[in-house]
Structure 1
Amino acid sequence: MKKSLFCILVFLSSVSLFSQTKVAGIVKDEGGSAVAFANVLFAGSREGTITNDDGRFYLESDSDYDSLQVSFIGYTTRQVPLKKGANYDLEIVLEEGGEQLDEVIVYVGKQSKKNNPAIEILKKIWAKKRINGLRMFEQYRYDKYEKLEFDLNTIDSSVIKSKLFKGMEFVFQDLDTSRITGKTYLPLFLNETFARVYGDNTLDLEKEDLLGSKNSGFSNNQAITAFVEDLYSDYNIYNNYLKFFDKSFTSPLSRTGIDTYNYVLADSAYIGDKWCYNIVYYPRRKNELTFKGDFWVNDTTFAIAKINLEVTKSANINWVKEIYIEQDFEVLNDSVFLLKRDYMLSDFSLSKKEKSRGVYGKRTTVYDNYVFEEPRPKEFYSRKTDPYNPLIFERDSVFWANNRLESLNKDEKGIYELLDTLKTVPRFRTYYDIVSILGSGYVEIDKWNVDIGDLYSTFGYNDAEGIRVRAGARTYFGQNDPWRLEGYLAYGLEDQKVKHGFSAKFLLDRGTRLILSGGNRRDVEQLGLSLTATNDVLGRSVASSSVFTVGANDRLTRINLTTLNLELEPLLNFRVRFGGSFRQLESALPDAFSLEYLDPESPGGIASEIKQFDITTILIYTPGKRTIGYGVERRDINDTYSTLLLNYTQGLEGFLQSDFNYSKLQFSYSQPWQVGGIGRLMSTVEVGRTFGEVPLGMLNVIPGNQTFFTLYNTFPNLDFYEFVTDTYASLHLEHNFNGRLFSRIPLLRKANLREIVGLRGVWGELSEANKTLSSPANIPLMAPDDAVYWEYSFGVGNIFRIFRIDFNFRGNYLDQPNARTFAITGTFGFSF
């Protein structure tokens, strides 16, 4: 999805609601310095905004206003006359000498944490937050309407007249203008959903029934749709941290907020018939993941009545220029404030420069028709509706007219027709295909219902094959295909041998996700990059094709693998896989690397080829995982879920001339942890044991890494096959501080670098029987049984926003022959 994001931005970067009153400009002090976070309102109204870090603002309204009110703590409030219509490039100078408000005490400059009335109010918000809103009722029900839009922004005459849009000028006939940024934009995607939500606070259960869904634009492209779906991330402003795009932002209502934000009690007034306090907040330091804005809070319940949040310009986040959030609450009765409307705008762009082009992602969620105290049995919440029921996607105009809790504006109504027309334009189809190819790596051949690729795997190199070329294809009728065939052919210029891989998958039952799959692969592979044996008939490790490696990359294996599997998902995110595999293994370079083992039935008592049939049962649980699609292949749209895997393998000697009878039990647990405001920790624990005697090719190799790529779950200071085990336990920890530390260092602050630390260790044993069985092999067999082998690393990420470099250190076993005490690895990619 990150690759797709970059491709979308590259493409779109190369290329109405006409309000009655529009204003834009800059606020400065008498010395000419910009005034950040100043309040800008249409006089006599509550329609307003605050200036950004550079003192700039944009504001618009459907109503006519003749003056603008600009204020900030420590300065005299100014009233600026406006002409009718647009008022751009205003320069407003504030004079020092702020006035005292009647209702509140005003503080100037960096705010003290002591004797600050705003912080006293904040503490009361913390005390009341768990008994406000929906938590005040035992049961609840409400309607939820969500509208998600995807727009190309910063449209000007140079874009309209460019050759890029030649023949597509009609799309610019009706352009809209953002009320947040003041930029013109062209809508390209619209998704509407209507759902009913049920909850029971006594049972701590909630379920959401999707009743209608309507798409336009790129709805048939999984890569683009998954990117857009990521905007659906749920958040609660009362939480300590708000997570957007894999980053945790400190909430202004957080208990840690007093160490992160300045708070000022700026005003008090009635909202409806409720007296509320207005608190302005802004960050204490730059380059941290923070917001600026203000909120209104009731003076008795201390429930939020209205809040806006804008990510600060200096925040350490890539590809996002703006994140702006508004939430409005309605008063149900004297003491209950319920969320009415939630609006979120994200401005994605390759650059944070003001005039750079990009993509808007806008989500509007409206809540209504609240009903309380309707008890339902526990079984009600376990019965889930089918979100892919065709009726949900075929709702007529009458349904949407009755259930849209917020009407579409003129431009939104035209998106469906616009996109249908645009898809018929050959030039647009060409651009769309380019983006699709870059994002997925496949070239679509629509008339054959086939995709050619993956293009990123076309060339490779290793010591056994030399230069390697590869070509592949897959069937593709649509993103929800019930079956898929895929295959490839490869050829090594050095060994002059053809390799191949073929797989087939069939979705037999959509409700239980019963899938039958199988295939065959004959190829050269670098085994030992994972503690679990590979059963992927199309997969290939980075190490198998690395052009540059540390030391000799000659411990390669020729593999002939055939598999047949049946997979079932009886419960959400819980999969059961049962299958069989037959593999033949032999060394790809026998003179340098041997897989030989003792075999009394072979000539000379030594065998060089392993033949093995295994039956495998795998249980996989991924709580919190979100996917899109209902075909045989689905696409993940988040990476915040944990993964628990239990694998039992039984080898059957004699069946299909299989060589060994053994059992293997393995367990792994991977968990990403969002550690408050100090970044993200990734942890993985793996344990396993093999019962019975097996040769080197079937033992558990501790994953070394002789490439220059940073590969999680490997040990970059170990060579391939340096440690081999039949019993093992390993731990991997990697923490990304997301720039939390570097942001405190003045010389590094503006670079937006991110610090990464890693710690990993493994312990294992290898029985004497297994050592003896593989004694003909020409590599020493050793396990880390004297002490836990461990490494640590320090890394710097976000170099030029795409590169990461890691410095890896070996902790022990330094007396091993040719032990690598230090290694440098790196990687590149596009992340927020």
Structure 2
Amino acid sequence: MRYITLLTFLFLSTFCIAQNKIKGQIIDIDSRVPLSFCKIEYLDKTFTTNWEGKFNLDISAYDKPLIITYKGYHRKSVYISKNEQFVVVKMTIDLDTYKKVEIYTDNTVNKIVRNVIKNKKNNQPENILGSFQYKNYENILITANPDSISSKIDTIRKKRLFRKTKIKLDSSNYKFKKIVEKYHLYQTEKVNQIQYNKNGQKETILASRMAGFKEPLYEYLGLNLVSYSVYENPFEILETPLQNPISNYGRRLYNFYLVDSLTIQDRKTYKIFFQPKKLQSSRLRGLLYVDAETFAIAKAYYRIYGVVNINADYTFDYYKKEKLWFPKKRKFTVLKGNNVDDIKILGRTIEFSSALEPDQNSNTTDQIYLTIESTPFDIELNKNVTFKNKGIKIEISKDGIDKPEKYWAEFVKDSIDIRRIGTYNAIDSLSKSRKIEKKVYVGKKVLNGYYPISYFDLDLRSIVKYNNFEGFRLGFGGVTNEKLSERYRIGGYGAYGLKDKEFKYNFTPSYLLHRSSETWINASYTDDLDETSKTTFATDSRRFKIYDPRPINISTFYAHKTASIFIESNYLRNSNTYLSIFRSEIIPQFDYTFINKENAYTQYNITAVQLAIQWNPFSNYMLTPKTRIEYEKRHPKFSFQVTQTLPDVIGNDFNFTKIDFKTFYEIPFISGQKSALLFQTGIAFGDVPLTHLYSLQPNNLNRDALLQRITFAGKDSFETMYFNEFFSDKYVSLQLKHTFNKIRLGYRINPEFSIATRMAWGEINKSNSHIGLNFKSLEEGFFESGIECNKIYRGLGATVFYRYGPNQLPVFEDNLSLKISYFLDLGI
């Protein structure tokens, strides 16, 4: 009996002192960014969280709080309840001390970081090795963890006006869980070869397959969501440049903390934590493992918390002979962060969930995440490597598009992920039934302004147009496509203006001279109208717009009959080139006379040669079996164009030269915001008629009342400048714009706000030579600023701009511009 009593006592004692093991994470209450190495006091014991703000703790006394302190934040006491297994502690900033916080400035760690920066050139493979090459297997998955999804069928109560509340069963969670238990949501793989020598680097894609597509989407084979090298500056995440912590300027932005020292591959390394000096910043946070002898990076973990939560992990192998840490594996994961915006991957809109709280979420898409794993193999260092590289960073092997399953099995033979097996068959079947591949093919054509119909691509821009001179302009046009011939093509259009009752047309046959450089020779004849003083660059890309807003308001056109021969080519590195010779018979469609050398011209002939080059020095290009693709569009971009008339050639009437230049620079931010700059200038000297001068894209109607001037806003036009108000033979303009994130107001009302400032200066030397239009000079400058509220509902928005400065008008209302904006999102 006494033994039973003793056992019972021991059992009860054990029960009474039983401990509850909990997990937790400490975050900033506003930004939800984890707070690294927080101090926690519990039962006279003190410990710290890890670099992700996480901790594990055995709770034995529920009446005793966890005391949490962190520099710059209010002290917080947290009591744990018996049923809690995971706790998120949200800390509040102490405004009195936050700005004064100075942490992680220890001299020892700063000395280590300085040595890392100093020895970067000695630790980068591109600098140490004369050449190297390796193959690489990369797998991209969009998936979800089935265990994180509730299988419960929910009840939805939908209130209806003047009617009984409708009760509906929602089984989306249950169905979604069943799907992700069998398959991944999306999968694509590739095997590539990376080669490097002193002339540069090249990637050759040896094999690729993409679920749902017989032929892969080549643009996504160049997808580089994170930098290959940890030494790159800027360091890129989601194609957004960030200042690398191990750069000279990076030390001004980040604080460093020496956590520990440990051994990796028999080499001593320092474990260093870094985070932004501004704790609420969305910049990088992470851990660097630094070789104590060479100060090279032996391992690295990066995190970003914000619009999306991003994890990037790098591991390396040490090569004793070369005294080099060479990449071993790279893993990249994207989850939904502290935002409500969607992320578009591979043409499908998905949401990535935050990993802060592991509770099952009723919204199934909150559990989706994207992961990329990249593993090098067949590594060869200091081997003689040769390759052709004329600005082509990626080349896709034609033989690698249709590899058998046996080939791919070699790369996943060690994988225990059984869901991979059925993913391709499931998505291929879905793609075939829904004709997804055909829709993507059509969508890519539409983005360039065409709709494919058998052997012919219909020109969507030619169908219906409107302007003040022609009224409604009805037409039909297009160009033959690759199904008819890859070597020849014939393009053209015909159009009729209902107001001017005139027929216009164009005919352009073309021949492919050189396939790899995409060099085409073209002949063209056009009988049409064009805008007076319009500035266009022949190398500008053609993107589809559901409407072109400015011509709607224009009334001053000139008719021209133009015959030309021109060559288009991508032969020069990172550039598009256009060279033409043309002759135009020009008749202004407004009251205009040009006085030149005591002669009066109301119509005239121009014969000229034109050379245009667009140079994108920072963009990267891919060569596919079909064409060259600019897969990484980086800024700035530069466009240059020169036009020279040919005296006494085929009845040319004037001798003049025009030189035009523009550059565009867009800066994306990891938060989703972006800033843009457009600089443009031009000069025309010689005998230049008004039709070929500069008018700087005005877009304001010449009407008295503000409401009468409401029309559609242009993309880069001056909204408060009236048509035909200014003309110049030399000018310079600058446009600055910043776009903020969307604001969700509910019921599909999600406006996107931008602020913009535009300015221009110009001169005209022979203003007395142009008779018929009254206009002014821009010598004192033109200035306008405004706010754009775009995409309020179904692409519609509104803009308001105000004109100020030397050319401000006396009446306040005349300086205002109210416009309607429209953005068409094709979702491709």
| Same fold flag (TM > 0.5) | yes
Shift of 1:300: 3.3
Give deviations 1:23-61, integer Å, cap 9, x for gaps.
xx9735799998935799xxxxxxx99769xx899xxxx
Which residue in 1 is equivalent to 2:520?
Answer: 515
Matched, 1:594 2:581: no
Shift of 1:628: 4.7
Matched, 1:216 2:210: yes
Distance in 1 (CA, whole Å) between partners of 2:445 and 2:127 is 51
Distance in 2 (CA, whole Å) between partners of 1:258 and 1:495 is 66
Distance in 2 (CA, whole Å) between partners of 1:250 and 1:577 is 37
Give deviations 1:184-220, integer Å, cap 9, x for gaps.
84125x24142141223xxxx3232526132334668
Q: 2:138 aligns with which of 133, 147, 171?
A: 147
Shift of 1:285: 4.8
- Report SS of the residue matched to 2:106: coil
Distance in 1 (CA, whole Å) between partners of 2:595 and 2:214 is 55
Which residue in 1 is equivalent to 2:302?
Answer: 309
Task: For 1:647, give the aligned amino acid.
Answer: Q
Q: 1:424 aligns with which of 413, 417, 432?
A: 432
Give deviations 1:335-370, integer Å, cap 9, x for gaps.
522222223344525667764749866443333444
Deviates more, 1:115-124 or 1:381-390: 381-390
Shift of 1:514: 2.0
- Report SS of the residue matched to 2:312: strand
Which residue in 1 is equivalent to 2:124?
Answer: 133
- Are 2:448 and 2:543, in contact at CA under 8 Å, matched by a contact in 1? no
Which residue in 2 is equivalent to 1:339?
Answer: 327
Distance in 2 (CA, whole Å) between partners of 1:383 and 1:444 is 31
Shift of 1:730: 1.5
Cα distance change of structure 1 residues 324 and 380 upon mapping to structure 2, 3 Å threshold: same
- Superposed, 1:193-272 pairs within 5 Å as 193-200=191-198, 205-208=199-202, 210=204, 212-217=206-211, 225-226=218-219, 229-231=222-224, 234=227, 236-245=229-238, 247-257=240-250, 260-261=253-254, 263-272=256-265
Give deviations 1:471-513, integer Å, cap 9, x for gaps.
5444444799545444445454444545445544432211343
Task: For 1:332, give the aligned amino acid.
Answer: Y
Cα distance change of structure 1 residues 240 and 459 upon mapping to structure 2, 3 Å threshold: same
Q: 1:298 aligns with which of 291, 295, 298?
A: 291
Q: 1:791 aligns with which of 777, 783, 790?
A: 783
Which residue in 2 is equivalent to 1:686?
Answer: 681
- Are 2:212 and 2:430, in contact at CA under 8 Å, matched by a contact in 1? no
- Are 2:538 and 2:578, in contact at CA under 8 Å, matched by a contact in 1? no
Distance in 1 (CA, whole Å) between partners of 2:722 and 2:218 is 41
Give deviations 1:771-799, integer Å, cap 9, x for gaps.
42x32xx2125443xx3524253656888
Give deviations 1:583-642, integer Å, cap 9, x for gaps.
34444xx5xx434445999xxx86544443333233443323334565887553333244
Which residue in 1 is equivalent to 2:310?
Answer: 323
Higher relative contact order structure (alpha carbons within 8 Å, sequence separation ≥ 6): 1
Matched, 1:364 2:373: yes
Q: Percent identity?
A: 15
Which residue in 2 is equivalent to 1:5?
Answer: none
Question: What number of residue pairs does the alignment pair up?
Answer: 710
Distance in 1 (CA, whole Å) between partners of 2:297 and 2:656 is 59
Which residue in 2 is equivalent to 1:760?
Answer: 759
Shift of 1:515: 0.9
- Report SS of the residue matched to 1:192: strand
Distance in 2 (CA, whole Å) between partners of 1:435 and 1:479 is 20
- Are 2:784 and 2:804, in contact at CA under 8 Å, matched by a contact in 1? yes
Which residue in 1 is equivalent to 2:584?
Answer: 583
Cα distance change of structure 1 residues 620 and 383 upon mapping to structure 2, 3 Å threshold: closer
- Report SS of the residue matched to 2:734: strand
- Report SS of the residue matched to 2:721: coil
Matched, 1:464 2:469: yes
Give deviations 1:747-776, integer Å, cap 9, x for gaps.
xxxx998775545333333336xx42x32x
Distance in 1 (CA, whole Å) between partners of 2:280 and 2:484 is 40
- So what's the TM-score if we normalise by structure 2? 0.68
Which residue in 2 is equivalent to 1:36?
Answer: 34
Considering only CA atoms, is the larger Rg found in Structure 1 or Structure 2?
2
Distance in 2 (CA, whole Å) between partners of 1:261 and 1:536 is 41
Distance in 2 (CA, whole Å) between partners of 1:405 and 1:528 is 65
Which residue in 1 is equivalent to 2:511?
Answer: 506
- Report SS of the residue matched to 2:698: coil
Distance in 2 (CA, whole Å) between partners of 1:56 and 1:560 is 77
Which residue in 2 is equivalent to 1:449?
Answer: 455
Cα distance change of structure 1 residues 557 and 419 upon mapping to structure 2, 3 Å threshold: farther
Distance in 2 (CA, whole Å) between partners of 1:71 and 1:499 is 80
- Report SS of the residue matched to 1:583: strand
Deviates more, 1:406-415 or 1:242-251: 406-415
- Are 1:648 and 1:663, in contact at CA under 8 Å, matched by a contact in 2? no
Give deviations 1:553-598, integer Å, cap 9, x for gaps.
42234444443212344432244433223334444xx5xx434445
- Report SS of the residue matched to 1:139: coil
Which 5+ residue runs of structure 1 have no aligned equivalent? 1-24, 41-47, 58-69, 81-87, 97-106, 162-168, 178-183, 316-320, 744-750
- So what's the TM-score if we normalise by structure 1? 0.68
- Are 1:761 and 1:790, in contact at CA under 8 Å, matched by a contact in 2? yes
Distance in 1 (CA, whole Å) between partners of 2:539 and 2:105 is 62
- Superposed, 1:663-812 pairs within 5 Å as 663-670=656-663, 672=665, 680=675, 682-691=677-686, 693-706=687-700, 714-726=717-729, 728-734=730-736, 736=738, 756=755, 758=757, 760-767=759-766, 771-772=768-769, 774-775=770-771, 778-784=772-778, 787=779, 789-791=781-783, 793=785, 795=787, 807=801, 809-812=803-806
Deviates more, 1:559-568 or 1:281-290: 281-290
Shift of 1:414: 5.1
Task: For 1:732, give the aligned amino acid.
Answer: L
- Report SS of the residue matched to 1:779: coil
- Are 2:270 and 2:291, in contact at CA under 8 Å, matched by a contact in 1? yes
- Report SS of the residue matched to 1:425: helix
- Report SS of the residue matched to 2:632: coil
- Are 1:650 and 1:661, in contact at CA under 8 Å, matched by a contact in 2? no
Give deviations 1:155-208, integer Å, cap 9, x for gaps.
9799999xxxxxxx999987479xxxxxx84125x24142141223xxxx3232
Distance in 2 (CA, whole Å) between partners of 1:449 and 1:227 is 27
- Superposed, 1:541-690 pairs within 5 Å as 545-546=549-550, 553-587=554-588, 590=589, 593-597=590-594, 608-628=602-622, 635-652=629-646, 658-670=651-663, 672=665, 680=675, 682-690=677-685
- Are 2:215 and 2:401, in contact at CA under 8 Å, matched by a contact in 1? no
Shift of 1:804: 8.7
Task: For 2:736, give the aligned amino acid.
Answer: E
Distance in 1 (CA, whole Å) between partners of 2:67 and 2:370 is 31
Distance in 1 (CA, whole Å) between partners of 2:774 and 2:197 is 61
- Are 1:459 and 1:469, in contact at CA under 8 Å, matched by a contact in 2? yes
Cα distance change of structure 1 residues 482 and 576 upon mapping to structure 2, 3 Å threshold: same
Distance in 2 (CA, whole Å) between partners of 1:31 and 1:388 is 46
Cα distance change of structure 1 residues 211 and 485 upon mapping to structure 2, 3 Å threshold: same
Give deviations 1:248-281, integer Å, cap 9, x for gaps.
3344445455565555444443333233333344
Give deviations 1:421-446, integer Å, cap 9, x for gaps.
4443257578768966876665444x
Shift of 1:231: 3.4
- Are 2:802 and 2:816, in contact at CA under 8 Å, matched by a contact in 1? yes
RMSD: 5.7
Distance in 2 (CA, whole Å) between partners of 1:755 and 1:449 is 42
